[in-house]
Amino acid sequence: MKEIIVVMMTMVLLDNIVLAKALGACPLIKLSASAGRSAAVGLAVTFAMIGASLLTWPIDRYWVSPFDLEYFRIFLFIPLIFLAGYLVTAVLKKAAPSYWESMGCTGHLISANCAVAGIAFINIDQGLTYFEAVYSALGAGLGFTGAMVIFAGMKYKIDNANNIPEAFRGIPAYIMALAILSMVFIGVSQAASAFIS
């Protein structure tokens, strides 16, 4: 139990997938709008991450690793990760159409997302057990959701500011905000890791 909590909190606070590893910065900038919508997208991405970890881990343990098929890993994993994202979007469309519409995004930003694929490969690289992998995916998803909700607030402020230089309006200002957020986050996580150890 303790290991699981440690793995999860590490993924949320120390190794935040967006702010400490820069995975999934594109959907963060493109999709975050209001705080509610960002949380919706973040939760969908979380489910896609859990699904991807659930699908890829057994394939790696029982097929790729025993037979030394490492060179085959990408070809097996990418369709599985895509399938996980596709299932999440299909279930969302059927089960909660209003929720899906409120997200207002095309499906491929969830199914083909660097963060979703990245967490599947990171879990395998770190040699986690099955439950640890699932909880690490859950933690990464929660970290992504948190970053997205924070960034939605920053984006609102930037959109309504009227003293930004002409060249920096729009995308450059968003990336600059992400830089400052990431700087703050790295500082906090360094302090937290010093406090824990």
Partner 1 sequence: MNDHKFFTKKILTENPVLVMTAGICPAVAVTESASSGLLLGCGTLLVLFLSSLPATLMKNIIPEKAVCASHMIIIAAFTAVIQMIFYSWFPQVTEEVGIFIPLIAVNCIVIESVNGFARNNPVLPTLFNGLGTGTGFLLVLILMGIIRESMGEGTLFGYSLFAGDMTLMPFAVLLPGGFFLLSLLAALNKHINRKTRQKEKNMTNNDREEEKISS
User: Which residue lies nearer to partner 1 by CB, 21 or 61?
Assistant: 21
- Residue 24 has, within 13 A of its CA and on its CB side, a CA count of 33
User: Which residue lies nearer to partner 1 by CB, 95 or 167?
Assistant: 167
Options 96, 172, 191, 193; binder of partner 1; rule CB under 8 A: 172
For residue 121, state whether it binds partner 1 (rule: CB under 8 A). yes
User: Which residue lies nearer to partner 1 by CB, 40 or 109?
Assistant: 109
Tokens 């859990």 correspond to what residue? Answer: 50
With contacts defined by CB under 8 A, name the span among 2-10, 55-63, 136-144, 173-181 that binds partner 1: 173-181
Options 66, 95, 101, 125; binder of partner 1; rule CB under 8 A: 125
For residues 11 and 17, the answer to whether their CB atoms sit within 8 Å is yes
State the Cα–Cα distance between residues 135 and 49, nearest whole angstrom: 10
CB of 124 to partner 1, least distance (A): 9
For residue 74, state whether it binds partner 1 (rule: CB under 8 A). yes
Q: Considering all CA atoms of the chain, what is the largest pairwise distance in Å, rounded to the nearest integer?
A: 60
State the Cα–Cα distance between residues 144 and 17, nearest whole angstrom: 6
For residue 118, state whether it binds partner 1 (rule: CB under 8 A). yes
For partner 1 (CB under 8 A), the number of binding residues is 50
For residues 123 and 57, the answer to whether their CB atoms sit within 8 Å is yes
CA 34 from centre of chain: 18
- Residue 178 has, within 13 A of its CA and on its CB side, a CA count of 22
Residue of 50, 44, 74 whose CA lies nearest to 60: 74
Options 47, 77, 135, 151; binder of partner 1; rule CB under 8 A: 77
Residues at the interface with partner 1 (CB under 8 A): 19-26, 29-30, 71-75, 77-79, 81-82, 86, 108-109, 112-114, 116-118, 121-122, 125, 165-176, 178-180, 182-183, 186
